[in-house]
Amino acid sequence: MPPILNAQAISKQFGAQPLFRDISLTVEDGARIGLIGPNGSGKSTLLAVLSGQTTPDSGEVAVRRHARIAYVAQDSHFTAGVTTGEVLQAALESEHIPVSDWDGRIRELAGKAGLDDLNAAAEALSGGWRKRLAIVAALVGKPDVLLLDEPTNHLDLEGIEWLEELLTKGSFAAVTVSHDRYFLEATSSEVVELNRAYAGGFFRVKAGFSRFLEERQAYLEAQNRQEQALRNRVRAEIEWLRRGPKARTTKSKARISAAESMIGELAELGARSAASTAGIDFSASERKTKRLVEFEHVGYEVGGRSLFTGLSFILTAGSRIGLIGPNGSGKTTLLRLLSGEIAPTEGQVRRADALQVVYLSQMRQLDEELTLRRALAPEGDAVVLEGRQVHVASWASRFLFRAEQLNQPVKNLSGGERARVLIARLMLQPADVLLLDEPTNDLDLPTLEVLEENLLGFKGAMMLVSHDRFLLNRVTRSIVGLDGQGGVGLFADSTQWEEWMANIRSRRSKTDVGDATGPVQERSEAPRKKLSYMEAREFAGIEERIAASDARLKEARARAESFEIATDAAALQMALAELTEAQQENDSLFERWTELSEKAG
């Protein structure tokens, strides 16, 4: 039987830089292909080409007759006001499934995804639940091939385990773009890396991810040996050429031609071998205080629901704590408590004086109309790093941006490139405490490895929220785990937390929660409130309102701190009043966002 998809010699280029050239890839029945590669290598574009949504510049994609292809993009968004049930109904309608079968199929699909409320507004769901909904909607037509672009980005660990089971047990073939190494190992029977370091522009190994790493290392070592041998031969030929050989004989002409060919081959090989990695380096402050933040029996309640209670721990210099839990369990809220943005509803949070906290929020946004130059260096053509000026071109190259990209708008950047811009901004701020909320989203594997090394060397305290189990287990020394229903526990690694959660789910399915015992303070679950139609509309636009509020607060703070205002008592009083109002508005919006996001699940 012919392959389901057969892409032959496809190329795609945006601007002057080709994404990939002459790539050939087949997808057979039952294939489980993990697709990886550096940011900007064209992984998302390749999926779009395979799905038929994008046309290649050259080459062709042949699809087996009657084969069905389903594609789930990196970001899952739905029309405001449309319910989860209506999303599934629309998918059934598009596949021309009889109306009489809709009710049973919708319940079956919702059950697969764990969606217990078909009347919930789809766009108001958390990122992880929107991703689950998009995936099961794609499965409505029983596709032969499922194409997934970074599906784990917004899933919690339970959601990732759900997706792993779906992929390993499904009858369809799958091509999945991911940077999650445990996920790739669990779900891939072959791995393809798009990378200009390879002679054909990609490297394919029909084995799991760990075997792929071994074979890739062997390939690169062989390529390095080939480059060194060729370099030695070219050196000898250059010496011969410098002696001024007489090119009159056929033999001499042939040798000159061969030497020129070898020099060109060496240049091409050297260009491929020049591996670039982002220069990530978080700098800690020189603070000598040992106790930086102390939580004493801390709890937080929103909308009558307890996110967690009785949480006690101490952050000291060198602490590296992971924070994990289901979507909506309060991870972001806990980070905001650490940063001082909000106050606990019970217990105490003590912070060292003049504590310097650097916080990478999951709700990070960039002004898409800004040029890359202004995004990296808002105040001019240089940034100040550890007391010295660094030109924006040098700063950009440290994060793998080319000089010609500096005047391009941020909207032209890939997701991974935008993530690198945000990390570049963070690095300019010395920190006592580093708070990272899902920092790995959209980062490629080489940048992830650099991030890991620098987090391991960070001398301040760190709390990391991530669904990347490899990163958590390598970088953190302990785990704060939330169960999503008010319970909290401390663990050595993510595996212990997963076992704890499995036990809790098992006990809850058999007995009342109050009978459970374990290393955690548990509460019976309060009835979950769902978003009304008006709340769903409010939630859909609240991130834009928060971004505008953040900008207003930044401007108000800058005015209040300016030298000109400081010398004018009346103007200073007005500026401080405006700053207070902007801060109150910002706090109120964040509190409302927390309330709505927890209700949305």
Judged by DSSP in three states, 31 sits in: coil
CATH architecture, range 5-68+143-212: 3-Layer(aba) Sandwich (3.40)
Q: Rounded to whole angstroms, what are the CA distances from 145 to 111, 148, 157, 587?
A: 22, 10, 24, 46
DSSP 8-state symbol, 529: P
Predicted confidence (pLDDT) at residue 515 exceeds the cutoff of 60: no
Cα torsion at 179, 145, 104, 111 (round to 10°)?
Answer: -20
Contact 463, 338 (CB under 8 A): yes
| Whole-number Å distance between alpha carbons of 438 and 415 | 13
Looking at residue 556, what is its pLDDT?
80
* % pLDDT > 90, the chain: 18
- What tokens were used for 114? 């764990």
Burial of 26 (0-12, 13-18, 19+ CB in 10 A): middle
For residue 361, CA distances in Å to 145, 159, 204, 516, 547 come to: 35, 21, 36, 34, 12
Helix or strand (DSSP H, E) at 313: strand 305-316
pLDDT at 546 over 90: no
C-beta separation of 127 from 327 below 8 A:
yes
Beta strand 357-360 with 433-437 is: parallel
CA angle 365, 137, 161 (to 5 degrees): 70
CA distances from 66 to 63, 92, 144, 440 (A): 8, 18, 9, 38
What is the DSSP code (8-state) at residue 381?
A: S
pLDDT at 91 over 70: yes
- pLDDT at site 517: 39
Q: What is the DSSP letter of 64?
A: -
Residue 174 near residue 168 (C-beta atoms within 8 A): no
Q: Which of 364, 335, 35, 329 lies closest to 158, judged by CA?
A: 329
**SS3 annotation, 73-134:** CCCCCCCCCCEHHHHHHHHHHHCCCCHHHHHHHHHHHHHHHCCCCCCCEHHHCCHHHHHHHH
Looking at per-residue pLDDT, the higher value among 532 and 375 belongs to 375
Q: Which DSSP string do the residues of 229-248 spell out, in sequence order?
A: HHHHHHHHHHHHHHT---TT
pLDDT value, residue 198: 82
479 to each of 320, 323, 325, 361, 501, how far by Cα in Å? 9, 6, 10, 19, 13
The pLDDT score that the predictor gives to residue 537 is 65
Cα end-to-end distance, the chain, whole Å: 44
Note the pLDDT tens digit of each residue in 226-284: 777 767 776 766 666 666 655 445 556 565 566 656 666 555 555 555 555 555 656 65
Quick one: pLDDT band at residue 7, thresholds 50, 70, 90?
A: very high
- Collapsing DSSP to helix, strand or coil, 267 comes out as helix
Delimit the domains of the chain by residue range.
5-68+143-212, 291-526, 531-601
Q: What is the pLDDT of residue 148?
A: 95
For the sheet containing 58-63, what is the strand order?
Answer: 17-27, 5-14, 58-63
Cα 120 → chain centroid:
26
CB 110, CB 118: distance < 8 Å: yes
Class of domain 291-526: alpha beta
Spatial distance between the Cα atoms of 19 and 70, rounded to a whole number of angstroms = 23
State the CB neighbour count (10 A cutoff) for residue 94: 11
* Whole-number Å distance between alpha carbons of 28 and 26: 6
Q: Which helix (H) or strand (E) holds 215?
A: helix 209-242
Q: What pLDDT is attached to residue 187?
A: 93
Q: If you average pLDDT over every residue of the chain, what do you get?
A: 80
Given a contact cutoff of 8 angstroms between Cβ atoms, the answer to whether 477 and 322 are in contact is no
Tell me the fold of 531-601.
Helix Hairpins (1.10.287)
Position 188 pLDDT exceeds 80: yes
Q: Which two structure tokens, joined as six digits, stand for 135? A: 């995936």
* pLDDT digit string, tens, across residues 554-597: 788 777 777 677 667 677 778 777 877 877 787 777 777 777 76
Which pLDDT score is estimated for 192?
93
Please report the pLDDT score of residue 349 as a whole number. 92
d(CA 125, CA 540): 9
| pLDDT of res. 521 | 37
Q: Which residues pair with 346 in a beta bridge?
A: 299
Kindly report the backbone phi and psi dihedral angles of residue 103, in degrees, each rounded to the nearest multiple of 5, phi listed first: -55, -50
Domains 5-68+143-212 and 291-526 alike in fold: yes
Instruction: Indicate the pLDDT class of residue 177, thresholds 50, 70 and 90.
Output: very high
Residue 60 has pLDDT above 60, yes or no: yes
535 secondary structure, DSSP code: H
* pLDDT tens track for 283-308: 656 565 678 899 999 999 887 788 88
Helix intervals (H) in 142-208: 157-169, 181-187
Integer Cα distance of 588 and 97 in angstroms: 46
